[in-house]
Structure 1
């Protein structure tokens, strides 16, 4: 790690040379690892994105994050983010800009013991992003520009793991077969993209940082949301369980590991949050916190809000009663999630499909459509990329034998490099018949309870030289997703190409859509959709208003929506309200969908606020 650069006395230090290791194409990078060898070990620094700087406790954004609890992933793709995409993009760690962070700096001795711990604000620049497989390549390749830092990180992860094992933690990895233990000691199956040394580096460094931060807070009598864990009374003694884990991982039998997984699930209770330090049985630690994923977990954000307030010399933004209420709500939500997962796993059909999806030697060409659909559904939803399944998926896609629902599963649910052949083949098929993209997007909206895709279409020129410009966007959430604008000689064809572009954007694959009108207009700006207004700079007016609230231009922003009319032809009226400069500001709008009504009301309210601001400064 490079030396600290000169900075003003009031500014946090600016540091360089840290690496981010995450799932492929990750958009929400919470943490980075910086490391250097010192005379008696290593200086390990975990940099955590300063999300608290952009999410004020008690704000609308904070309350929304609390309601979502966490980002939900399917494979390597986040389907429900805890924070709006626009906010996430502003606060995430990134390679191309200096990033505000909270630095947890630890001295790691050669035996894996962690000595002195410092916690401070730091601005980091020169971050490098790697996938798990790329991290493994960097360790092996001496010529790789990040070889030294990733090699040292791998070395530290090994001594940290060895120390944890000696201290009685239930911790093992078998990256070759894809099995590991999680924090609680439960045996888990790793996604295909995680089965490299990159996964071990991240796990061990983050566990070390979370452990160090718990100790640091305890030494300052600073109440946090602690992560406490215990074992059931019927659980085997710790040493017996450690011996069983060693035997199962050494044997490598999938059946034996699966049986041990079920046993650990039954006998090791799930860890829970609490405003006191209750110890962590699986890690065999007196105290532990979750602090390294504030973009993805609300508990981590709360911990960071408290830490940053302490660093700034302020009182905690969360009192004891508030922390208890947050902990109870998060624990209840997690229990509900586990119950839903258990109900899903009870299905023998699901179990059979999982085994089939994971098979490494099988012939699925003779399966009928329903049987193959069951395999494909499990494989996509649980990111099980067995070679025969992916090969057969690509074959059936090319043969036109996949339904719109199945193409939606492959393109918008499955993730990880193991699925790439199937995903690429599926998008090639859609590109050859772009009208299919509209059906896939419609299915995706129905399955996930999302609003329908919106199209804007503009007509340019006179017949017979008319050109149609179309753009597809997904209006849900704070930050709509848009495909590229596409041109064609007919309105329907332009819409199909626009839908194909949006589908590729959502699938995080290269865009195969085309401009089919020659020459394609390039300078004309599309108008807004009939029911939807937008901020002057192209951002959603809802997002702009939320940002205004964050910086105290307005307060008390609320939206209320009422519906009227028959169910087949509803009308929605949304009212947006806020306080600006001590005065109540209110705007209402009517549209055929809730999302459009809310966006239009937000646009009208934004105009009123901006007009008032302009009048005040003129």
Structure 2
């Protein structure tokens, strides 16, 4: 029996024997169902508790009453009633014959994880042979699971492993030995074998089903990422992978049908080896015991379904409570850190500093040390767009002004970031999007673009300055920078990048920006005309003439309107301008024809 030191609820034991070039692996499970019958007081209370809860390796409260637990636990020095799951394990890790039967197990020996590791390495240890064989069988079982695509890895030296669901977890200090791997692999093998054994006999059990979210990476990519992270051994990389697996791998749930297990890559799986500690294991054992006794299952399908729902609901509530507790604790810690007048934050990684910054900005806590570190990281280019958005558009008060100024200075050098920051802020806070008005003056290729950004705010709008540039994109960037400065209540660093031209040269056909408060482009209008059958057969073809370093592009646009083919061409120094000009001419021809027909 390998368990944490001082365990009082030992509900499984392992026996391994060499048979030829393979092994006979037997997992003995305490026969709890012999004393806890379905519907009894102990059974109802066990369902209500659902599981034994541990903290720091010790039980806070037990699923079964302590006296009953002491009576049913596997223990040294006495014969113990058990359910035996016997498996033939071949050299390649595949499992052959499986037998399930009642047994009385004698000669039990209790080991801690480190004691099991000592036995493997010490040839003079009384249990060296049996524990060494247990270690050997665990290695071939693990290799077989990996070969079949299970998300399974251990790094016992640094204390990281994957759970049976494939989530990266941190191991307790006492688990970081070969003893932990022996227990994990033998129990997974027993639960897998029992699921298949029950399915072959059409026994209704509580199966442990698992799936991945739609946003999860393909299995092979996740396997490659696990290999890379565990090989690298970086705590930061492993922590990031842990967060990703938590987000993309759904929590496994119980159901009265075999739905498959994604993390293990198995068609069926059950929890059956911890009936003293987990209620679903007890239910599975009650069904198995009834079958072994030749009587009907004590549970109808509806009863199993109700039990599964109660267990799943309770597990979700536990996860929500734990998440809220961690969040509250993290917020309190971040709040204290953000308020510090003097502290050294230079050693914090990006994720830890973001948590601190988020709390400081949202609660307007402008600790001198936090504001100074924010300004330093901004100048060094270490802040993300989300960090910049928090400082410029969430943080308030004069205390944050040095930090806001430093952030805006960074964006002034790369004004394209202003657009993404404004868009991100709108999405995060469910605000209306920023509106851009863009106008074009002059003839291509010497056109000048003017842009102005505004943000709807009730009956009025907050507007930035109108800015010019030789390209539409550059004009929008400067306009967004101006609006961002206005919203952050800081001096405007935006500027005009082109000289204005007389408004008499305005080209109405070059006004565009559909969906952003701007006039739609002629290309967009023609597409809408085609979708509504005003025109048909809309097409564009472009050719180039002249030397490679200075080509001239001619675009021909054609369509059929009212049974008549309309074809126009336009020439410019770029494909885009030529296409826009051709579309504008074609649109003018179509609109003129439509107006004449209406008249």
The TM-score range, normalised by the shorter chain, is 0.5 to 0.7
Matched residues in 1 for 2:267 and 2:226: separation?
Answer: 22
Counterpart residue number, 1:78: 59
Q: Name the residue aligned to 2:161.
A: 180
Would you say the 8 A contact 1:344–1:350 is kept in 2?
A: no
Q: 1:308 to 1:255 in 2, by over 3 A?
A: same
Q: Is the 8 A contact 1:172 1:181 kept in 2?
A: yes
1:317 corresponds to: 298
Question: Is residue 2:39 matched to residue 1:27?
Answer: no
- In 1, Cα distance between the equivalents of 2:331 and 2:60? 22
Match of 1:241 in 2: 222
Q: Cα RMSD between the aligned structures? A: 1.3
Pairwise mapping of residues 276-315 of structure 1 onto structure 2 (< 5 A)? 276-315=257-296
Shift of 1:348: 6.2
Alpha-carbon distance in structure 1 between the residues aligned to 2:240 and 2:89 = 36
Deviation track 1:345-385 (CA, whole Å, cap 9, x = no partner) reads 224647969xx9xxxxxxxxxxxxxxxxxxxxxxxxxxxxx
Number of aligned residue pairs: 335
2:209 is equivalent to residue 216 of structure 1? no
Q: Provide, for residues 475-506 of structure 1, a one-character-per-residue CA deviation record: whole Å limited to 9, x for no partner.
A: xxxxxxxxxxxxxxxxxxxxxxxxxxxxxxxx
SS across alignment from 2:84: strand
CA contact (8 A) 1:72 1:79 kept: yes
Match of 1:341 among 310, 322, 343: 322
Pairs within 5 Å for 1:397-412: none
Deviation, 1:210, is: 0.1
Would you say the 8 A contact 1:291–1:304 is kept in 2?
yes
Which residue, out of 119, 123, 126, partners 2:107?
A: 126
In structure 2, relative to structure 1, the CA distance for the partners of 1:251 and 1:62 (3 Å cut) is: same
Q: Does 1:92 align with 2:73?
A: yes
The Cα shift of 1:159 comes to: 0.3
Matched, 1:267 2:251: no
Q: Residue 139 of structure 2 corresponds to which residue in structure 1?
A: 158
C-alpha separation in 1, matches of 2:247 and 2:323: 11
Alignment equivalent of 2:210, drawn from 223, 229, 251 = 229
Using the TM superposition, give the Cα deviation of residue 189 of structure 1 relative to its aligned residue in structure 2, in angstroms: 0.3
In the aligned structure 1, how far is the partner of 2:279 from the partner of 2:240?
A: 32
Alignment of 1:439-588 (within 5 A): none
**Do structure 1's residue 167 and structure 2's residue 156 form an aligned pair?**
no
For 1:394, the equivalent position in structure 2 comes to: none
- 2:358 corresponds to which residue? none
1:290-335 CA deviation, whole Å, 9 max, x = no partner?
0000000000000000000000001000110000000000000000
Q: Give the Cα–Cα distance (whole angstroms) in 2 for the partners of residues 231 and 25 of structure 1.
A: 37
TM superposition score normalised by structure 1: 0.54
Mapped pair 1:254 → 2:235? yes
Relative distance call for 1:160 and 1:277 in structure 2 (3 A) is same
Structure with higher Rg: it is 2
Structure 2 residue corresponding to 1:55, chosen from 36, 39, 42: 36
Q: 1:50 to 1:245 in 2, by over 3 A?
A: same
Cα distance in structure 1, aligned partners of 2:322 and 2:52: 16
TM-score normalized by the length of structure 2:
0.55
Q: Displacement of 1:199 after TM fit? A: 0.2
**Match of 2:21?**
40
Q: Please, which runs of 5 or more residues in structure 2 have no aligned partner? A: 338-599
> Whole-Å Cα distance in 2 between the matches of residues 156 and 33 of structure 1?
11
Match in the other structure for 2:49: 68
Give CA-to-partner distance per residue, 1:165-200, whole Å, 9 cap, x none: 000000000000000000100000000000000000
Q: How far, CA to CA, are the matches of 2:333 and 2:178 in structure 1?
A: 30
- Residues 102-138 of structure 1 show CA distances to partners (whole Å, capped at 9, x for unaligned) of 0000000000000000000000011000000000000
Pair 109,350 (structure 1): closer, same or farther in 2 beyond 3 Å: farther
* 1:196-241 deviations in Å (ceiling 9; x for gaps): 0000000000000000000000000111000000000000000000
Deviations 1:231-286 (A, max 9, x none): 00000000000000000000001011000000000000000000000000000000
Taking a change above 3 Å as real, the CA distance of residues 143 and 298 of structure 1, as seen in their structure-2 partners, is: same
- SS in structure 2 of the partner of residue 233 of structure 1: coil
Once residues 227 and 107 of structure 1 are traced to their aligned partners in structure 2, the CA distance between those partners, rounded to angstroms, is 23
Distance across 1 between alignment mates of 2:20 and 2:137: 14
SS at match of 2:273: coil
For the residues of structure 1 that align with 2:151 and 2:324, how far apart are their CA atoms? 27
Secondary structure of the residue that 1:46 maps to in structure 2? strand
CA distance in 2, matches of 1:33, 1:191: 22
Q: Secondary structure at the match of 2:34?
A: helix
- Superimposed CA distance per residue, residues 393-439 of structure 1 (whole angstroms, 9 cap, x where no aligned partner): xxxxxxxxxxxxxxxxxxxxxxxxxxxxxxxxxxxxxxxxxxxxxxx
Tell me the distance in 1 between the aligned counterparts of 2:184 and 2:91: 19
Mapped contact 1:345–1:351 kept (Cα < 8 A): no
CA distance in 2 between counterparts of 1:27 and 1:238 reads: 39
**Structure having greater relative contact order (Cα 8 Å, sep ≥ 6):** 1
Partner secondary structure for residue 291 of structure 1:
coil
Corresponding residue for residue 93 of structure 2: 112
Q: Distance in 1 between matches of 2:212 and 2:148?
A: 17
Instruction: Show structure 1 runs of 5+ residues with no match.
Output: 1-19, 357-618
Cα distance in 1 between the residues matched to 2:331 and 2:291: 48
Q: For residues 234 and 6 of structure 2, what CA distance do their matches in structure 1 show?
A: 32
- Asked whether the equivalents of residues 275 and 323 of structure 1 are also in contact (C-alpha less than 8 Å), the reply is yes
CA deviations 1:547-579 (Å, max 9, x no partner) are: xxxxxxxxxxxxxxxxxxxxxxxxxxxxxxxxx
**Whole-angstrom distance in 2 between the partners of 1:132 and 1:212:** 24
